[in-house]
Structure 1
Amino acid sequence: MAIKELNLSAKTTIDGFMNGINKSTVKGAGLEFSQYRSYQPGDDLRSLDWKMFARSDRYYIRESEVETNISVRFLVDASASMNHSDGDFTKIEYARYLTACLAYLANLQGDAIGLYIFKNAELFSMVAKQDYQHLARLFYQLEQIRPEGTFTKPIHYKEIFAGTQKRELLVFVTDLYQTENEIFNLLDTLNTLRHEIVVFHVVSRNEMELDFKGYTTFEDLETGQTIQIDQAKARSEYKNKLNLYLEETRTKMLDRRIYYRTVSTDEPLDQALRDFLKQRNKLRI
């Protein structure tokens, strides 16, 4: 039942979002002829059609249809910090729903989809394929996620680097909780493969506002360490430091040419889906 609910939720969300938009091709240089258009300064001269020039004495660019089906791999952080909740809603539940919707959208557009789950010194790997049965298996694996432990150590990353030699779109859903820069080290390694990378940084409203009603003792979900906090006194300095951290993170991602966006667990998925489509349609395999 849980699998069917996730499948139905993703389908309902994406069908409503797309609203009739389902482009699987773009104009560009390819094999299937599409149309001519007038030459414009800056166009690739190799695309000029000299036969049309001979007949009309005008310059035309020959445009073609090119398939944009790609391989999209979803990387999901399932370390214990993803159990953080805002009310009855946890980060991992939001990450699960976001990933399911993006996977459904990618599958709808004919892309191969794969899944990697990072948790407690382990890495679950699911190769990228393009068919509905594979999508159903991906939904099943998302439903099985039970966050625990710390982020996966580099010794377990080898399966990530054993994929296709073509450029892929990597979509990383994480809360970016790290102790020794391990997540950025992973991103740096992935960057060497020249893949397109999108990072969705999952946050909750109560951690953004430091608004945990009635609580003074806070526990680190991954280490078990506790700390006493007077929220009212700490809130202003906390928010200043958090904003600085988020800005520094955004700059680090930009320096690495990684698309980065924070998504709050109380935020509708619409903008995240638009961002995904933008990046997916940038990649030409």
Structure 2
Amino acid sequence: MSSSVLARYLDPEVLSRVAGRGIEPRGLVMGNLAGAHRSPASGFAVEFAGHREYVPGDDPKHIDWRIYFTRDKYFIKQYEMETNFTCHLLLDISSSMRYGEGDEQKLLYASRMATVLGHSIVRQSDKVSLATFDTHIRGHIRASNSMHQVVRMTQHLDEVDAIEKTNLAQCLSELAERMQRREIVMIFSDFFGDLESVEAAIQRLRFSKHEVVLFQVMHHDELYFDMDGMVRFVGLEVAEQYLAQPEDLRAAYLEAVGAFNAQLEEIALRNGCDHVLVDTREDMAGMFADYLNKRMRMPRR
């Protein structure tokens, strides 16, 4: 694989801004390797959690002798185990994600976001997976904490062809069936579609104790509609075209987009998810720095 493909998705400045902060799960996580994140299971390592009464077969070295001398009973010290976490990156590759040119194209921007986060997670020795979807799941790279995982991700992203409509809710539900419990799920999409069905899919993820982050990736035009002159609007997921003056549509359009974004924000709040509205004209390093700083200040769930 040529280094130019990696360079297309990995910006050193963005990597340095993300790597300096790290990504911590905000709740207890279930992993199968020793790591740096708290597990809901109890064991005999790292951080004190409490006591339980001794039963035959327990290792005597974990007996709390101070309690024995005061209560004349044997109690075992228990500790919070630490584990690794798995993060699933789910990327919408439907036609609407093609909007924008150059570095501001939504799909390219979202792909870079996913790659940067994947690189940072692997550097922490945690696992990351990548799935791409439109009407169906088009690609799925199984979770790994190998640095070669980033290469596999960029290889797949470079082959993506965004030509189909989207069925976000169905794809999220199908992907949820492939996940274990208590993992992190980051979704990169414009979320255009039926938000009620999307919420039902998110609730399924939350029911399985996953932490869910919604990265709503929007082009500057879509957020502010600050175009001038006569414009031909061409549908990316429907075969329709309209020729119109943007100033005639701006007020109604901005009202509709504001209501849509507010509804998605309400869904996130209602279901205990993070919602990050991303403008592809925004500096990615700054956007990540703001989000990760905010994330570090939030209490654990």
Q: Do the structures match in fold with TM over 0.5?
A: yes
Aligned partner letter, 1:107: V
Q: How many pairs does the alignment contain?
A: 268
Aligned to 1:194: 209
Would you say the 8 A contact 2:51–2:78 is kept in 1? no
Aligned to 2:100: 85
Aligned partner letter, 2:144: K
Q: Distance in 2 between matches of 1:15 and 1:30?
A: 35
1:224 is paired with a residue whose SS is coil
2:139 is paired with a residue whose SS is strand
Residue 113 of structure 1, CA deviation: 0.9
Q: Distance in 2 between matches of 1:173 and 1:132?
A: 22
Aligned partner letter, 2:126: D
Aligned partner letter, 1:84: Y
Query: TM-score when scaled to structure 1?
Result: 0.77
| Cα distance, 1:185–1:271 mapped onto 2, change above 3 Å | same
Residue 241 of structure 1, CA deviation: 2.7
* Residue 249 of structure 2 corresponds to residue 249 of structure 1: no
Would you say the 8 A contact 1:123–1:152 is kept in 2? no
Which moves more between the two structures, 68-77 or 183-192? 183-192
Aligned partner letter, 1:260: H
What pairs up with 1:256-275 in 2 under 5 angstroms?
A: 256-269=271-284, 270-272=286-288, 275=291
| Cα distance, 1:16–1:201 mapped onto 2, change above 3 Å | closer
Q: Distance in 2 between matches of 1:154 and 1:262?
A: 19
Would you say the 8 A contact 2:22–2:121 is kept in 1? no
Aligned to 1:25: 36
| Cα distance, 1:180–1:53 mapped onto 2, change above 3 Å | closer
Residue 238 of structure 1, CA deviation: 2.3
Aligned partner letter, 1:18: A
| Cα distance, 1:33–1:45 mapped onto 2, change above 3 Å | closer
Would you say the 8 A contact 1:86–1:205 is kept in 2? no
- Percentage of matched positions with identical amino acids: 18
Residue 70 of structure 1, CA deviation: 0.7
Which moves more between the two structures, 245-254 or 264-273? 264-273
Which moves more between the two structures, 99-108 or 174-183? 174-183
Residue 192 of structure 1, CA deviation: 3.5
Which moves more between the two structures, 214-223 or 158-167? 158-167
Aligned to 1:141: 156
2:185 is paired with a residue whose SS is strand
Aligned to 2:5: 3
Q: Distance in 2 between matches of 1:180 and 1:171?
A: 17
Deviations 1:33-84 (A, max 9, x none): 46x8xxxxxxx7649x9656789xxxxxx89674341111110000000001
1:72 is paired with a residue whose SS is strand
Structure 2: which 5+ runs fail to align?
A: 25-34, 53-62, 70-76
| Cα distance, 1:264–1:70 mapped onto 2, change above 3 Å | same
Match of residue 240, structure 1, among 252, 255, 263: 255
Aligned partner letter, 2:160: I
Deviations 1:122-156 (A, max 9, x none): 43222111111222111211222221111147776
Aligned partner letter, 2:6: K
1:167 is paired with a residue whose SS is coil
Structure 1: which 5+ runs fail to align?
A: 37-43, 56-61
Which moves more between the two structures, 77-86 or 187-196? 187-196
What pairs up with 1:57-96 in 2 under 5 angstroms?
A: 66-85=81-100, 89-96=104-111
Q: Distance in 1 between matches of 2:102 and 2:168?
A: 31
Aligned partner letter, 1:13: V
2:216 is paired with a residue whose SS is strand
Aligned partner letter, 2:16: D
1:32 is paired with a residue whose SS is coil
Residue 259 of structure 1, CA deviation: 1.5
Q: Distance in 2 between matches of 1:192 and 1:230?
A: 46
Aligned partner letter, 1:191: R
